[in-house]
Amino acid sequence: MAEQIQRDSIYLRLARELRAAILRQDFPEGVRLPTEAELADRFGISRQTVRRAFQDLVAEGLVHRVPGRGTFATPREEQYLRQFGSVDDLMGLSIDTRMQVVEPLHQRVDVDAAGRLGLHSDRVHKVAFLRLHEDTAFCHTSVFLPPEVGRLLESVPELAGPGTAGATTVIGLLDERLPEPIAEAEQSITVAAADAGIAGHLGCEPGRALLRIDRVYQSAAGRLVELAVSHFLPEHYSYRVRLRRSGR
C-alpha cells in the first residue's frame, strides 16, 4: 500500500511539472516533448509512471500523440475548449454569467484562510461576490488571496465597490497579472447550511442546505494564489463531471 501511494505521488508530481512547462509554452507547436524513456531516465522512475502522467495530460487535452513521432503540446488556442472541470472552463464563467461584488477587495485577518494558503502571517485580501445568470443569483463566493497576490488586484475597478458588476472572474484577472499562469486547482465539495449573511444575498432562509465548493488554485510555479469558497443554491445549479477510464 505504501509503495502504491508513493508511485501515485510521483506520477502526480511529474504530471504537474509537465503541465506547468506546457502552460509556460516551453514546448511550442512542433516541438516534441521528451519521450517516456527520456523522462524515466531523467527522473529515475519507471516508464509506466511516466505513461500514467502522459495519460492525464492527454485526457485534459494538453497534449496529443502522433504515432511514430512522439508527444506534442496541443496548440494553445485549442486547449480546454469549454472542457468541464478545467481551470480555463472556470475562467469561462464570464461568458454567460456576471459577477456582482457584495464585499469589495480589502485586507483582513483570517487565520483559517491564511492557513489553507500556507501563509506565514494571518493577513489576507478578501473579496466576496454573487454569480448571476440572467439576473438570478445562484452562487455566493468568498475569495481569499495572499497579500502579494491581492495587491495585484487593488486597482481593478470591478472589485472596488459593493454592487459593482462585470463579466469577469477573479482567476481570469489574476491570470493576466501573475508572473506565471494558474495551472491547477484542488477542489472539495460538501453541503453547508446558509448563514444569515449568505442567505440574505441568495434570497433563501438561514439554515438552508447549500452546495459548498472550495477551490485552492496553484500557479505553474507551485504557488498557492487563491482560495475560493462558494455556496450554490441547489435549485439553480447542478454539478456534473465526466469520468474516463485511463488508457481508453
Domain ranges of the chain: 2-78, 87-232
Alpha-carbon distances of 28 from 222, 223, 248, rounded to whole Å: 21, 24, 26
If pLDDT is split at 50, 70 and 90, which confidence band does 93 have? Answer: low
Distance in angstroms (rounded) separating the CA atoms of residues 145 and 119: 10
Mean pLDDT of 197-214: 94
Beta strands in 8-135 (DSSP E): 63-66, 70-73, 98-109, 123-133
| Alpha-carbon torsion angle 54, 59, 61, 65, nearest 10 | 50
Residues 20-45 have a mean pLDDT of 87
Angle value at C-alpha 213, between 209 and 218, nearest 5 degrees = 165
The CATH architecture annotation of domain 87-232 reads: 3-Layer(aba) Sandwich (3.40)
Domain 2-78 fold = Arc Repressor Mutant, subunit A (1.10.10)
Neighbour count for residue 217 (Cβ, 10 Å): 26
- The alpha helices in 138-203, defined as continuous H runs, are 147-150, 170-177, 196-202
Q: Coil, strand, or helix at residue 115?
A: helix
Q: How far apart are CA 184 and CA 215, in angstroms?
A: 10
Nearest to 85 by CA among 116, 52, 59, 54: 59
What is the pLDDT at residue 5? 35
Mean pLDDT of 178-205: 92
Q: What is the mean pLDDT of the chain?
A: 83
Give pLDDT, residue 84. 37
Please state the rounded mean pLDDT for residues 28-57. Answer: 89
Greater confidence, 3 or 198? 198
Residue 35, pLDDT score = 92
Q: What integer pLDDT is reported at residue 81 of this predicted model?
A: 33
Predicted local confidence at residue 142, as pLDDT: 97
The mean per-residue pLDDT over the stretch 23-42 comes to 88
Query: Looking at residue 241, what is its pLDDT?
Result: 63
Least confident of 20-24, 26-30, 167-171, 210-214: 20-24
Q: Is the pLDDT of residue 114 over 90?
A: yes
pLDDT surpasses 60 at 85 = no
CA–CA gap between residue 244 and residue 9 (Å, rounded): 20
Distance, CA of 114 to CA of 141 (rounded, Å)? 17
Burial of residue 82 (number of CB atoms within 10 Å: 0-12, 13-18, 19+): exposed
Give the least confident one: 13-22, 144-153, 165-174, 233-242.
233-242
